Amino acid sequence: KSLYEQAEKNFGTIQPGFTHLQVAQPVLTSHWLMAYFWMFKRDFDRLQSFLDRLVECPLGAAALAGTDFPIDRWSTAKQLGFEKPTENSIDTVADRDYCIEFASIAALSYMHMSRLCEEIIIFASQEYKFIELSDDFTTGSSIMPQKKNCDFAELIKGRTGRMYGYLQAILTMMKGIPLAYDKDMQEDKFLSYETIDLWQNTMKVMAPMIRKMKINAKRTYQAASHGFSTATDMADYLVKKGMPFRDAHRVVGQTVRYCVEKDKTFDDLTLEEFQQQSDLFTEDIFKEISLEHSVGARKSYGGTSPEAVKVQLEHAEEFLDKAHQKLG
């Protein structure tokens, strides 16, 4: 919900998208935020699916062989809120798949949080200045008064290893255990409770940290303007004029090299300078390589155009409403 709210609030803001941490193509900041929204939605769906499988009641399996007392496992299962009893008493006692699956979901979700924290740390740096975190989630330096360190994001990122460790520990605990019960398995409680606590406590920090952060729209726009992020649009422009893409790629590369040598951006070039690279360039090139046109042209489903991102936001809102109803 915090990501969704930020995406709505910053709708229309343009920033560079990256590959290899190099400026690639311009995107809406909302599109970047929603990328993480869908990651966390998948985590939510996995958890719901996992909970939906916890419908078999272990009561009555006894030590491993069942019991000779005249019990009704179907009745007790229903009374305890399960759909049915487990099918095999040995498997019931020996199974810890649910602990492993839960730890796996938590580890995957924590990885998503760690990736987001890493980008927050990068984007909050002085070199980027895309993001400013609230003072609630930063600290100063003991000797450098100008510092505003993203300590909470760093701690979350650092604790990802601990979360992975819980999953690895449960997997290792179970890898060589003969049927049915062995004392090794009592470790499942400690590891599961630690997983729950770490995951929940981190979510309690992540949500307000995201909700309170500020996006520097002026800075993100400047960064997208100065990284030749519309180079692909320039190549596409030449292709639409009839030039093979291989040649268009070469022409755009030459144009970028020219700009670097002259310390210019695409916006600084005159039509004459464009035409030095190819006579296919005409006055309309300036519109074609604008950030607004580049972003707006990506109208394919799931793309970064305003129309496409609005569809994402609509679907996200529907999901949040349904999830809220389901959780009460």
pLDDT in tens, 237-281: 999 999 999 999 999 999 999 999 999 999 999 999 999 999 999
- Domain end residue (candidates: 193, 216, 239): 216
Active site residues: 20, 141
Whether residue 176 is found in the same domain as residue 110 = yes
- Host domain of residue 268: 231-289
The pLDDT-based confidence of 171 (bands split at 50, 70, 90) is very high
Per-residue tokens: 312: 């994402």
Q: What is the model's pLDDT at position 144?
A: 83
Let me know if residue 308 belongs to a domain: no
- Domain end residue (candidates: 174, 193, 216): 216
Q: Strands, DSSP E only, in 242-286? A: none
Mean pLDDT of 2-13: 97
Whether residue 140 is found in the same domain as residue 275 = no
Q: What is the model's pLDDT at position 288?
A: 93
The pLDDT-based confidence of 141 (bands split at 50, 70, 90) is confident
Q: What is the model's pLDDT at position 142?
A: 77
Whether residue 260 is found in the same domain as residue 149 = no
Whether residue 39 is found in the same domain as residue 148 = yes
Let me know if residue 155 belongs to a domain: yes
Let me know if residue 239 belongs to a domain: yes
Percent composition of the chain: helix, strand, coil (DSSP 3-state, to 5):
65, 5, 30
Let me know if residue 154 belongs to a domain: yes
The pLDDT-based confidence of 139 (bands split at 50, 70, 90) is confident
Let me know if residue 268 belongs to a domain: yes
Mean pLDDT of 187-192: 95
Cα–Cα distance measured from residue 262 to residue 308, given in angstroms and rounded to the nearest whole number: 37
- DSSP, collapsed to helix, strand or coil, labels residue 278 as coil
Q: Is the dihedral of CA 243, 249, 251, 256 positive or negative?
A: positive
pTM (predicted TM-score): 0.92
Let me know if residue 42 belongs to a domain: yes
Which class for 178: exposed (0-12), middle (13-18), buried (19 or more C-beta within 10 A)? exposed
- DSSP, collapsed to helix, strand or coil, labels residue 25 as strand
Whether residue 200 is found in the same domain as residue 103 = yes
Cα–Cα distance measured from residue 44 to residue 47, given in angstroms and rounded to the nearest whole number: 5
Whether residue 129 is found in the same domain as residue 275 = no
pLDDT at 68 over 90: yes
Query: Mind giving me the DSSP string for 309-324?
Result: HHHHHHHHHHHHHHHH
Whether residue 46 is found in the same domain as residue 121 = yes
Whether residue 102 is found in the same domain as residue 247 = no
The pLDDT-based confidence of 295 (bands split at 50, 70, 90) is very high
What is the CATH classification number for the domain harbouring 117? 1.20.200.10
Unique residue bearing structure tokens 């909970």? 51
Whether residue 184 is found in the same domain as residue 269 = no
Whether residue 211 is found in the same domain as residue 109 = yes
pLDDT at 145 over 90: no
pLDDT at 222 over 90: yes
The pLDDT-based confidence of 216 (bands split at 50, 70, 90) is very high
**Pick from 25-39, 73-87, 139-153: least confident:** 139-153
Mean pLDDT of 282-294: 95
Mean pLDDT of the chain: 95
Pairing status of strand 22-28 against strand 56-57: unpaired
Query: In angstroms, how far is the first alpha carbon of the chain from the final one?
Result: 15
Percent of residues, the chain, with pLDDT higher than 90: 93
Q: What is the model's pLDDT at position 326?
A: 83
User: Total structural domains in the chain?
Assistant: 2
Per-residue tokens: 233: 């649009």
Using CA atoms, how far residue 106 sits from 115, 226, 327, in Å, is: 14, 39, 19
Residue 238 backbone dihedrals phi, psi, to 5 degrees: -70, -35
